[in-house]
Structures are given as structure tokens and as C-alpha cells.
Amino acid sequence: MYPIEQVEALNPEVTRMVVRAPEIAKKIKPGQFIMLRIDEQGERIPLTMNDCDAQAGTITIIFQAVGATTMRLAQMKAGDALLDFAGPLGNPTELAGAKRACVIGGGLGTAIAFPQAKWLHDNGCEVDVITGFRNKDLVLLEDEINRHSTRQIIMTDDGSNGNKGLVTQALQQRIDEGADYDLVLAVGPVIMMKFVAATTKPYGIKTYVSMNPLMIDGTGMCGGCRVKVGDEYLHACVDGPDFDGHLVDFDDAMRRGVMYRSFESAAREGRDCNERKGA
């Protein structure tokens, strides 16, 4: 069992949780993820590490309550425990050697991209962090990013925090201003990553995107997390989750992303029904 040490609501949709997992905390690196299961009846879900403390033996995850499992997870409290917490899985983001980087997070992707920005900044890289949210109430990790970046640019749909507009507009503006990036990392909705890659491609800037398709086992056996990269299909769990953004077929990824929505809706409805019966 893996004890939960801290649970904190960051906004009405997003929760931060600190889990004690000493062996994983010693090994996990930015970009890698874990597979967790709440109990014997629960499904396995992948969640990317937001932070770790090897000395304390803890892993921090940040998640949005959108499915049956994450809704249950958000209701857990400090002192509860998770049955399974397996990792580290996936490949670390290739960050070594970067001198001028731009890390872009859309919504919850900001939490997933934070460890990379922190590592780059702490290792002497000049790091711009561009984040995008619907409004000021959903902004994540503003203080943490300020401490671990050269420059933070917040974009909101309504202009209630930072600048009004899209992360790609901020990225293009920085490039036009002469930002000579040798690495761009984008984490967020597939459509956002598609247009980030389209923005950087004419300039030949190395661009990684973090793909988060349906994942069941985290070992490549299920085949659910296939991503078309160039002329081949790769598995996000064992070949990724980061891929060359200029080679990913984002349209294929978006088509695959809607295949299981009916099952997810059924799972949520079943959970709600069970809760009403138990009320």
C-alpha cells in the first residue's frame, strides 16, 4: 500500500496529492509517469509526476477529476492509501544540453510540464514558460513557475490573468522578438500541441510533445496508447510519452482520442448511480 500524505484542491477541477513511494522517488525523472490503482476493483490509470522528493520518499501528482477513477481519487484524504503505485514508467524528457528553452503548458498540462521547466532552470538553462488557461480561477502553479523559470507568460481566454489569447500567440511573439530557442516542449490538449508544433516547424526548432492517449497497462501490451509518428505507430507508454512534434500525426491522435468516450461516460454514470444508491 502507498500512503497518501497530503491532498490539496488547487482549483475546483484540479487536485494535488503527495504519495509516499520511496523507491520510485529515488528513480523517477521529469517526463516519466506512474500507473496507480485505488483498490482491487479499480482501474489502472497513468498520471505523470509533477514533483518528487527523494529524501522524503514522496511523489507529487496533480490531476483533474474528469473520469470515474480521478473523481474517486479527488475524494481521498491524507491517511488513506493506494493499492498500486507503479513506476517510474516511460522515458524521461531529453533535456540535457538545452541552453534556451520554452516550456508550454495548456491547462493541466502545466502541472505535467513543470518538472521539465524546473530541471532546465536549475541546470542553468534560460527557460520561458508559457501557460494557457480558460480564466484566472484555473491558473496553476504560478508561484512555483516564477521560482523556476526565467520568464513566465500566462495566457487566458478572457484576459483575466496575464494576456488574452492563445499560447501559440505568445510563442510566436517571443520568436519574433528574437528568442533563439533550441528546445520547445509542449504539454496539453492535442489541438494545442498540434499548433505549437506548426508554429516552430518553419524555424527548425526541436519540439517535443507529451502524448497522453488511453493507457491500460503501461507496458505496451494493450496497444491502446499507439501514436502515429512519421510512418510508424509507437506506444506512448514505452516509446514516449515524448515524441518529435514535427512527426506526430495529431489528427490521427484526435480521432483515436474520441473512440472511448462512450465507455468513459458509462463509467462515470455507473459511479454516480452507485453513489445515489448508497446515499
pLDDT at residue 25 greater than cutoff 90: yes
In a domain, 95, yes or no: no
75 and 192 together in one domain: no
Q: Are residues 167 and 131 in the same domain?
A: yes
Q: Mark whether 189 and 61 lie in a shared domain.
A: no
Q: Determine, yes or no, domain membership for 266.
A: no
Are 109 and 149 part of one and the same domain? yes
Residue 218, domain member (yes or no)? yes
- Tell whether 110 and 79 lie within a shared domain: no
Residues in contact with 210: Cβ distance below 8 Å, sequence separation at least 6, in sequence order: 31, 48, 93, 109, 112, 113, 185, 186, 187, 193, 240, 241, 242
- Of 10, 38, 46, the C-alpha closest to 237 is 46
If you average pLDDT over residues 65-88, what whole number do you get?
96
As annotated, the binding site includes 62-64, 222, 225, 237
Which of 89, 116, 137 delimits the end of a domain?
Answer: 89
The answer as to whether 116 is a domain residue is yes
At 184-236, the pLDDT tens digits run 999 999 999 999 999 999 999 999 999 987 777 666 667 678 899 999 999 99
Q: Out of 103-112, 160-169, 269-278, which region has the weakest mean confidence (pLDDT)? A: 269-278
Query: Are 76 and 145 in a shared domain?
Result: no
Q: For the sheet with 33-37, list strands across it.
A: 81-82, 2-9, 14-20, 58-64, 45-53, 33-37, 84-89
Give per-residue pLDDT as tens, 213-227. Answer: 777 766 666 767 889
Could you tell me the CATH number of the domain that includes residue 193? 3.40.50.80
Which domain covers residue 30, as residue numbers? 2-89
Binding positions for FAD: 62-64
Is a pLDDT exceeding 70 seen at residue 273?
Answer: no
Which pLDDT score, from 0 to 100, does residue 36 have?
Answer: 96
159 and 28 within one domain: no
Residues ≥6 apart with Cβ < 8 Å to 200? 171, 175, 181, 184, 207, 245, 246
242 and 212 share one domain: yes
Tell me, yes or no, whether 31 and 159 share the same domain.
Answer: no
Would 237 be classed as within a structural domain?
Answer: yes
Tell whether 268 is covered by a domain: no
- Are 42 and 136 in a shared domain? no
Identify the domain boundary among 55, 89, 123. Answer: 89
**In this structure, is residue 76 part of a structural domain?**
yes
Count of domains forming the chain: 2
Residue 110 shares a structural domain with residue 81: no
Supply the CATH number for residue 83's domain: 2.40.30.10
- Binding site for [2Fe-2S] cluster: what residues are annotated? 222, 225, 237
Q: Tell whether 44 is covered by a domain.
A: yes
Q: Side-chain half-sphere of 225: how many Cα atoms within 13 Å?
A: 25
Give tens-digit pLDDT for 163-182.
999 999 999 999 999 999 99
